[in-house]
Amino acid sequence: MSKKPVRAQAKGAGKRTAHRDSAVGEQASGGSENATKGTRVPPVKKASAKKQDLAGEAKPAPAKKTAAVKKAATVKKSATAKKAAPAKKTATATKTAVATAKQATLAKKSAPKAKPESRAALVRRARRINRELAEVYSYAHPELDFENPFELLIATVLSAQTTDLRVNQTTPRLFAAYPTPEDLAAANPEEVEELIRPTGFFRAKTKSIMGLAAALRDNHGGEVPGRIEDLVKLPGVGRKTAFVVLGNAFGVPGITVDTHFGRLVRRWKWTEETDPVKVEAAIADLFPKSEWTMLSHRVIFHGRRICHSRKPACGACPIAGLCPSYGEGETDPEKAKKLLKYEMGGLPGQRLKPPPDYPGKPAPPLGAA
């Protein structure tokens, strides 16, 4: 009797199990049909983390594949970044350049603009420079040896493209052989060429001085005229030569614009003109007429001794504080002293027969050591 109920229980349990499985199958089937018909399906519960881990351990191949894909993706990303680096660098450099340009523009706009020098200020500065030079070169004079207007005229024509020193060493023999316009006009050209050869361009210069000597003989009675209108008509005579003769032989004021004069007045910002006639007019407008001749001597003296063309001796310049171009040359005082020429540097001057108040040594004659 005890065994029969047990079998009955087992059989009943089997029936219940089969009935439950059938019900589950029907529910799943019904769920499928309901999903097809649009009926809401209850959400499926997610597997626990533990079950997911077990599933991952059970299938290692997909994880390995994922790691390989990740590695490939990293390599590709690195290569792309390296490729893009130059473009990024260029963009950064451009951005920096633009920023720098903007800063420079802003600085330029914000910087106070220097006011241009007024005419009154220019006149005051120019005249002060002239006064300073008058103290330094109180002995300034024409640096050509001459005894009369004719000798000064000939010497000035010969001074083109050479130094006054070379002219002064050459003219003694010339004037000894041809002391008057008449003598020079009747001279043998070849003999004149030989005498003035040391001055350079001797053929062209021979033609000029013999031509002007003939013009003086024929048109002016053998005398040098005292008017600029007559002087500039003579062969080889321009405004510069005419003003040298008028200012130093006749006492007529004039501005001599030679290479030294033109260079210095532009450095001092007295004018920006380069044409000698325009330079002359601009400077004449800054000074009284009585100063023109001596102003020319002082400026030329300064240009030959201190304010040289290639390397000015700025450190030894007496008007450095008034010069807007200070610093173009040597500013060290000791080094600048070594650049000084003629009497300023303790050397002989350009004249063989200098004036009595000249502080330097006379120049040696031609051929002397």
What's the maximum distance between 2 C-alpha atoms anywhere in the chain? 183
Nearest-angstrom CA–CA distance, 153 and 162:
16
Instruction: Name the one residue in this structure whose structure tokens are 């019900």.
Output: 23
Burial of 95 (0-12, 13-18, 19+ CB in 10 A): exposed
Residues identified as active-site: 240, 258
Residues 6 or more apart whose CB falls under 8 angstroms from that of 161 comprise: 200, 201
CA 17 → CA 23, 27, 98, 262, distances in Å?
10, 15, 84, 127
Burial of 133 (0-12, 13-18, 19+ CB in 10 A): buried
Treating both helix axes as pointing N-terminal to C-terminal, what angle do 292-305 and 119-136 enclose, rounded to 10 degrees? 70
Nearest-angstrom CA–CA distance, 267 and 108:
25
Residue among 325, 243, 237 nearest 280 (CA): 243
Nearest-angstrom CA–CA distance, 343 and 305:
8
